[in-house]
Chain A
Amino acid sequence: MIDFKNIRKSFGEREVLKGITFSVPEGQILFILGTSGTGKSVLLKTIVGLLKPSSGEVFINDREISCLSEREMFPVRRMCGMVFQQPALFDSLSIFENVAFGLRKHQPELDHAQLSARVKECLALVNLSGIEDKLPQAISYGMQKRVSLARTVAVSPRILLFDEPTTGLDPVTTNSINHLILELSRKLKTTSLVVSHDMQCALDIADHILVLDKGEIVAQGPPQTLKQSTHPLVQDFLREALNAETAH
């Protein structure tokens, strides 16, 4: 359960988030849509304390986290997994070591065989195998992005934050990743927050959609409600989704 209460965030003079309030019940999928630069990534980072809000409160499972120190945040972050907008793979480590990195830290009891099996399993989830020994620089951007997804999923977080997980990927992979998000949420009851530009996909798999514009929520609700929205930005997104559908 994530509760966001009147969150504001400024960088210097500039206010990026202007009083955001929403909540996500456990096991649900929330899609956050918005144009570039509206503060979606900032919003996601505020949830796990990578950025501190200027004012307002963030509750994760009824615990206020925005005032916690870096050390106190550790158990909270342990529950959360974040797929960053950039692949953010550690470039001095191989793909295997990248995926194993969090596992070694969170589950030190795993022996080498178990670790290696888990890494392979996670890479297979994102349709990658046989690249364990390569360095991140040696694989394509889309593959890096998928490895970063595998790395996050590997530690079985209870809350998953995805920052544009499918941007820059081909339609087939996009589909399989959306499917993966849905499956994690339905089977393992993982709470997911997905930042995306893809209204079609949001309508398909989200339980709740939130549309941000210039740091403010302009529309929110389940897909059915959102379809009725008259806000011009939401209309634009809906038209885009409709076009994509008819093009198929």
Chain B
Amino acid sequence: MTATLSDFFVYSTRTFKALFQPPFRSKDTFQQLEFVTWQSLPVIVFCVSFAAMVTIMESSFHMKLMVQNDSLVPGFASLLILRELGVVVSSLLLTSRVGAGLAAEVGSMQVTEQVDALRMLGIDPIRFLVIPRLIACTVGGVILSLIANLVCLYCAMLISELKLGYSSGSFLTGMRAFVSYKDLVFAMIKGGCFGTVIPIVSCFFGLRCESGAEGVGKATTNSVVVASVAIIVMDFVLTYIFSHFY
């Protein structure tokens, strides 16, 4: 465990150093960005829409039960969406889609000796494999958290108009009382941070993958579990830090 942690520390340090060393593999980075952002968009939009709708319906139901009035729902729900729901749900989806894929891809390159072949040619696997994915996921995390939040808010507005009877005007007024642009900016920062964690963790487990299909399976599972836990913990830490700025 301690050995793994110190390996991870050494690896992360090397990765961040490599981030600033040319050559920058822009073609590969853009390809990865397309894979991370564009191809994840449908599933993320689909899932966060449902999460938003459930949030509105549930909070309205309980507000009505407790205080016989759900007029604060648009504001509260928007707050919850912008601060937590949009970015966390989309990042966890990104972990299972992109993180698992990366760990399996890099892991199978490791067990089929492709990583060794790169090293034999004097190519640093971190710079060649990890950096393009790291940049793509970080940028993708920011973009996806923005889109996810906007979609979430739109769905929330739609459902409160259809089910709760608030016009979009009154939803927006209620929302503005609770949230500000800062919330969106913080959400995007969170998205970027979570996006950084996913490829770092996945490639770490991929690069130390043991031989055989079982090894690749283990690397994939570990990377998804560790990245998800890391995202939840980081979310707490970042939320705590951001709370000083409101």
Contacts and interface: CB of A to CB of B under 8 A. Distances in A.
B120 A105 contact: no
Interface stretch (B43-51, B109-117, B156-164, B223-231): B109-117
Contact of B116 (A74, A78, A81, A84): A84
Contacts of B121: 77, 101-102, 105-106
A82 interface: yes
B120 A80 contact: yes
B119 interface: yes
Prevailing SS type, chain A contact patch:
mixed
A188 interface: no
Interface residues of A, number: 22
A18 interface: no
Contacts of A89: 114
Contacts of B120: 48, 50, 77, 80-82
A105 B122 CA distance: 8
A45 B122 contact: no
A70 B113 contact: no
Contact-residue bracket for chain B: 10 to 19
A59 interface: no
Contacts of B124: 70
Contacts of A87: 112
B117 A88 contact: yes
A90 B116 contact: no
Contacts of B117: 82, 84, 88, 90
A86 B122 contact: no
Nearest to B111: A86
Contacts of A88: 112-114, 116-117
B123 interface: yes
A227 B72 CA distance: 91
Contacts of A85: 113
A50 B116 contact: yes
Nearest to A102: B121
Interface string A84-115: 11111111000000000110011000000000
Interface in A66-80: 70, 74, 77-78, 80
Contacts of B123: 105
B119 A91 contact: no
A81 B121 CA distance: 8
Interface string A104-132: 01100000000000000000000000000
A129 B38 CA distance: 38
A86 B112 contact: yes
B246 to A, nearest CB: 46
A80 B119 CA distance: 12
A80 B122 CA distance: 11
A60 B112 CA distance: 26
A243 B54 CA distance: 75
A87 B114 CA distance: 8
Nearest to A49: B119
A77 B114 contact: no
Contact of A50 (B112, B114, B119, B122): B119
A50 B114 CA distance: 12
A81 B116 CA distance: 12
17 contacts: A45-B116, A48-B120, A50-B120, A70-B124, A77-B120, A77-B121, A78-B122, A80-B120, A82-B116, A82-B120, A84-B117, A85-B113, A86-B113, A88-B112, A101-B121, A105-B121, A105-B123
Interface of B: 112-114, 116-117, 119-124
Given A80-B120, A87-B112, A102-B121, 12 more contacts: A70-B119, A70-B124, A77-B120, A82-B116, A82-B120, A85-B113, A86-B113, A88-B113, A91-B114, A105-B123, A106-B121, A106-B122
- Shortest 7 CB-CB distances between A and B: which pairs? A88-B113, A84-B113, A74-B122, A88-B117, A102-B121, A86-B113, A88-B114
